[in-house]
Amino acid sequence: MSRAIDLTGERFGRLRVICFAGTNRSGNRTWRCLCDCGKEHIATTSNLLSGSTKSCGCYHRECVAQMNYIHGKSSTRLHGIWRGMKMRCYNKKSSSYDRYGERGIRVCAEWKDDFKVFYDWSIRNGYDDTKSIDRIDVNGNYSPDNCRWVDEITQANNKRNNNIVIAHGEAHSLSEWSRISGIDRKTLSDRIRKLGWTLEKALEIEPRDTYDHRGNKAKHNHEGGS
């Protein structure tokens, strides 16, 4: 007969085994465990070793609460900005990937993996639905030390000689968008002012071609400033 395994002192997830707790009605060996949250919990050998039991139940409750929290915020503008950041940085099918993910721009781990952390930071740092996220260093990542929430008026006052425009919930001067996209500033300006395009559309079209106000390619293959 094989010797019974002694799990005393072992750790499984949030549980640390205190002592043997006897056998249950099914004849399975059980263990008294102390959870990191401070509660005690009885678990069987098989559940501990298989990873089926990792806490007293607090972990599952936290996951449910987090899902409910995210679900309640999923239709908000802020959640859309959070999804957009990740899309631009990690989804190669995104029309903006070449200006973000391909350039090495990333979302910091604490924001990327947890909307609530991003939400809490945003609220603490002045977010409201009139503001856009601004990366202070346009070549830097989305992170607490490189981002701020700004309104267009504030941006314009801080940079009086710049034309501040917003795309994907992010505010930059036209010059900064030019550096990010690799498209000449005058080209972007002409597309927005003369053709009436949105910045998002102006950033998506190849700079070597010209287009009319409907987005149809013109016959000539040159565009001012490109």
pLDDT of residue 152: 64
What is d(CA 167, CA 111) in angstroms, rounded to the nearest whole number? 20
Provide the token pair at 124: 């603490």
Minimum mean pLDDT range among 4-18, 71-85, 109-123, 197-211: 197-211
Task: Give residue-wise pLDDT tens across range 137-149.
Answer: 888 999 999 999 9
Could you give the strand order of the β-sheet that contains 170-173, starting from the edge strand earlier in sequence? 147-150, 132-135, 170-173, 164-167
pLDDT of residue 85: 93
Average pLDDT over residues 95-114: 90
Average pLDDT over residues 158-173: 64
| Torsion (CA) 80, 164, 105, 66 in degrees, nearest 10 | -20
Provide the token pair at 218: 């013109």
Return the higher-pLDDT residue of 124 and 157.
124
Task: Give residue-wise pLDDT tens across range 13-48.
Answer: 999 999 999 999 989 999 999 999 999 999 999 999
Whether 56 contacts 12, CB under 8 Å: no
Provide the token pair at 158: 């801080």
Q: What is the DSSP string of 142-157?
A: BSTTTEEEE-HHHHHH
pLDDT of residue 11: 94
pLDDT of residue 161: 47
Provide the token pair at 98: 């070449």
Helix ranges restricted to H, 165-222: 174-181, 185-193, 199-204
Average pLDDT over residues 158-168: 60
Whether 53 contacts 47, CB under 8 Å: yes
Average pLDDT over residues 191-199: 82
Where are the extended beta strands (E) located within 24-158? Answer: 29-35, 40-44, 132-135, 147-150
pLDDT of residue 162: 56
Whether 215 contacts 189, CB under 8 Å: no
Geometric angle at alpha carbon 85, from 81 and 89, rounded to 5°: 165
Residue 129 pLDDT greater than 80, yes or no: yes
3-state secondary structure of 73: helix
Residue 124 pLDDT greater than 50, yes or no: yes
pLDDT of residue 71: 61
Provide the token pair at 14: 């949030």
Return the higher-pLDDT residue of 16 and 203.
16
Q: Sorting pLDDT into bands at 50, 70 and 90, what band is 3?
A: low
3-state secondary structure of 42: strand
pLDDT of residue 163: 60
pLDDT of residue 70: 63
pLDDT of residue 22: 93
